[in-house]
């Protein structure tokens, strides 16, 4: 569970700063630059550890699926945040853990205890409450929120992509599994970049924007490393649920740096998350 919480710290930080950077240089540039950095950094880790990458050939199917779903998830996530409203898309995106847990139970044969499942449901419910303002949520459900389809796509993509990242970590070791997933994912972003080359060329990022996007990638890499280690050593379902608390980090940073004021349901959500994590720790 500790690794899942560390993953949440990295991903929550990347989520907050990624949204800020995307407003300056665009979501596509932010994703391409940050994920290029993670792929290069992961390559450096493989070189330093000396782990063999030959076993990657035995899991090419899972690697391709991981790349497709993860790349789609990242693009959909930033698009959802861009279209909004955040009060609607954020809690929907937080449900990705439930997708991954179902896959872990069905395909990996994991059998979390009833206490762990209860803690997981409470944690995810708390995350959904913490990441939104219920009053704005109600206001946003009178019609189809523009970012909602993208939020659903990102939740499914992150859930399936997270499952396959865990699968790769278990079969290849966390170092090679992480490296393979980052490089394959980058190939997916490259295809998108080529198809959108005109719009990218029309809005080249400034040096400060590039540096900021690299910082987003560094935070994301912390999350990926922690998640890979956790799923390599423990239950995928538990690590997934623990990592799903990452919106709390983004909310906390918004309060600290943007002066946002939490609403009552967000305090309630934090309490539920704490209770859910305690149950997971006892399971």
Answer yes or no: are the C-beta atoms of 30 and 18 closer than 8 Å: yes
pLDDT value, residue 265? 86
pLDDT beneath 70, residues of the chain: 84-88, 136-145, 283
The angle at the Cα of 250, spanning 187 to 265, to the nearest 5 degrees, equals 135
List the end-to-end C-alpha distance of the chain, in Å, as a whole number.
10
Answer yes or no: are the C-beta atoms of 228 and 180 closer than 8 Å: no
pLDDT value, residue 141? 54
Q: How many other C-beta atoms can be found within 10 angstroms of the C-beta atom of residue 44?
A: 11
Answer yes or no: are the C-beta atoms of 5 and 240 closer than 8 Å: no
Question: How many whole angstroms separate alpha carbon 234 and alpha carbon 226?
Answer: 12
pLDDT value, residue 138? 65
Nearest to 268 by CA among 107, 134, 168: 134
The percent helix, strand, coil of the chain (3-state, each to 5) is: 85, 0, 15
pLDDT, tens digit (0-9, with 9 covering 90-100), for 137-177: 666 555 666 788 888 899 999 999 999 999 999 999 999 99
pLDDT value, residue 75? 85
pLDDT value, residue 86? 65
Answer yes or no: are the C-beta atoms of 181 and 123 closer than 8 Å: no
Answer yes or no: are the C-beta atoms of 125 and 244 closer than 8 Å: no
pLDDT value, residue 87? 62
What is each CA distance from 177 to 8, 57, 58, 185, 187, in whole angstroms? 19, 12, 12, 12, 16
């Amino acid at each position: 569970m500790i690794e899942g919480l560390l993953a949440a710290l990295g991903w929550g930080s990347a989520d907050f700063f990624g949204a800020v950077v995307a407003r300056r240089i665009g979501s596509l540039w932010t994703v391409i630059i940050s994920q290029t950095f993670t792929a290069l950094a992961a390559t450096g880790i493989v070189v330093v550890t000396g782990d063999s990458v030959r076993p990657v050939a035995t899991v090419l199917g899972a690697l391709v699926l991981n790349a497709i779903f993860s790349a789609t998830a990242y693009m959909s996530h930033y698009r959802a945040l861009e279209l909004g409203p955040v009060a609607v898309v954020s809690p929907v995106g937080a449900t990705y853990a439930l997708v991954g847990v179902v896959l872990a139970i069905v395909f990996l044969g994991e059998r979390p205890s009833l206490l762990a499942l209860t803690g997981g449901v409470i944690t995810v419910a708390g995350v959904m409450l913490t990441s939104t303002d219920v009053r704005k949520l109600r206001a946003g459900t009178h019609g189809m929120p523009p970012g909602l389809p993208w939020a659903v796509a990102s939740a499914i993509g992150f859930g399936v992509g997270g499952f396959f990242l865990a699968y790769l970590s278990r079969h290849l070791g966390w170092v090679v599994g992480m490296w393979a997933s980052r490089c394959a994912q980058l190939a997916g972003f490259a295809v998108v970049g080529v198809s959108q080359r005109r719009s990218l060329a029309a809005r080249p990022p400034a040096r400060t924007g590039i540096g900021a996007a690299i910082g987003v990638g560094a935070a994301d890499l912390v999350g990926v490393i922690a998640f890979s280690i956790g799923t390599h050593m423990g239950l995928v379902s538990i690590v997934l649920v623990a990592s799903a608390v990452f919106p709390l980090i983004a909310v906390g940073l918004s309060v600290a740096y943007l002066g946002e004021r939490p609403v009552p349901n967000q305090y309630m959500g934090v309490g539920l998350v704490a209770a859910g994590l305690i149950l997971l720790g006892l399971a």
